């Protein structure tokens, strides 16, 4: 095969697979632009004209509040998780202390433990602390993130040169100062990748809010989407539009960040 023929062939193959990946999204988008009755009778392939009407139905269900809740939860989880992970990663990568290797192994071991293990008691703990009426229970589990610690440790180990840290300390920089002024500057790729992952995980989390959150004012996106189904059982089209709207933020985030996300992954853990 000549090179140009190969290009055509390979690109076509990828394009066909990509159509498979995109088709459900496309159908979802299109269905959101039709009137409910049409969905049962027609095969819809091109955009309809009912988008604005459906949008009004969704807006009437206070979907903006649901959005805000999700944003608060995901942003807080991301910031806290990345910060705490980087702190711990710095300790493991660049400091010496007693039982360091054993503690690190224990942290790795907790990565294998499914998050549901302590769930029953966590819910009771939150009730006991009278936090179940707030968004805090949805944020806390992400803060101590074993994967994040592992990720940051590996990255800080290889990316931050020891000499730079030592010369900064010679110049009288405090240890906290070293972290914020020097370490952070070296680990931007790791921060980006971890932020995207934690944001995605907390944005998509369903089980925990389903069990803990019982007030509609505190619903996050996954709960809000299912609640749309309750309120508009008959209005499929509005519900589908809600699905699309709930998905857009993470899609945008990854569209913007996907390059550095993959660069971070390549530089990071997968070396074996």
32 in Cβ contact with 54 (< 8 Å): yes
Q: Would you count residue 17 as binding another protein (CB under 8 A)? A: yes
User: Among 113, 157, 162, 217, which residue sits at the site for another protein (rule: CB under 8 A)?
Assistant: 113
- Residue 17 or 185 having the CB closest to another protein: 17
226: contact with another protein by CB under 8 A: yes
Closest CA to 241 of 78, 32, 25: 32
Among 65, 164, 168, 265, binds another protein (CB under 8 A): 265
Binding status of residue 22 toward another protein by CB under 8 A: yes
Half-sphere exposure of 272 (CA within 13 A, CB side): 0
Distance CA 169, CA 174 (A): 7
- Compute how many other C-beta atoms are within 10 angstroms of the C-beta atom of residue 201: 18
If binding is defined by CB under 8 A, does position 68 make contact with another protein?
A: no
Judged by CB, which is closer to another protein: 57, or 246? 246
Torsion of CA 247, 248, 251, 255, to 10 degrees: 180
> According to CB under 8 A, which residues from 114 to 133 bind another protein?
114-122, 124-125
Q: Per rule CB under 8 A, is residue 180 in the interface with another protein? A: no
From the CB of 163, what's the least distance to another protein, in Å?
18
Q: Which of residues 139-168 bind another protein (CB under 8 A)?
A: 140-141, 143-144, 146, 149
Alpha carbon 188 to its chain's center: 17
């Amino acid at each position: 095969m000549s090179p140009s023929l190969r290009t055509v062939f390979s690109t076509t193959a990828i394009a066909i697979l990509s159509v498979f990946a995109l088709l459900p999204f496309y159908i979802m988008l299109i269905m959101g632009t039709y009137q409910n009755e049409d969905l049962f009778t027609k095969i819809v392939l091109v955009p309809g004209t009912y988008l604005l009407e459906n949008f009004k139905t969704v807006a009437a269900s206070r979907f903006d509040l649901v959005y805000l809740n999700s944003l608060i939860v995901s942003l807080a989880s991301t910031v806290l998780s990345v910060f705490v992970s980087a702190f711990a990663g710095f300790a493991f990568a660049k400091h010496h202390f007693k039982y360091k290797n054993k503690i690190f192994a224990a942290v790795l071991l907790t990565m294998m433990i499914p998050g549901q293990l302590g769930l029953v008691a966590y819910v009771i703990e939150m009730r006991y602390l009278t936090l179940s009426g707030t968004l805090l229970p949805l944020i806390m589990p992400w803060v101590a993130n074993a994967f994040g610690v592992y990720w940051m440790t590996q990255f800080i180990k290889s990316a931050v040169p020891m000499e730079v840290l030592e010369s900064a300390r010679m110049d009288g920089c405090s240890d906290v100062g070293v972290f914020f002024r020097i370490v952070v500057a070296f680990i931007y790729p790791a921060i980006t990748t971890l932020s995207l992952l934690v944001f995605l995980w907390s944005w998509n989390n369903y089980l925990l809010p389903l069990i803990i959150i019982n007030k509609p004012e505190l619903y996050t996106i996954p709960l809000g989407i299912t609640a749309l189904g309750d309120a508009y059982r008959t209005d499929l089209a509005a519900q589908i539009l809600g699905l699309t709207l709930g998905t857009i933020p993470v899609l945008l985030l990854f569209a913007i960040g996907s390059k550095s996300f993959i660069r971070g992954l390549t530089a990071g853990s997968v070396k074996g």
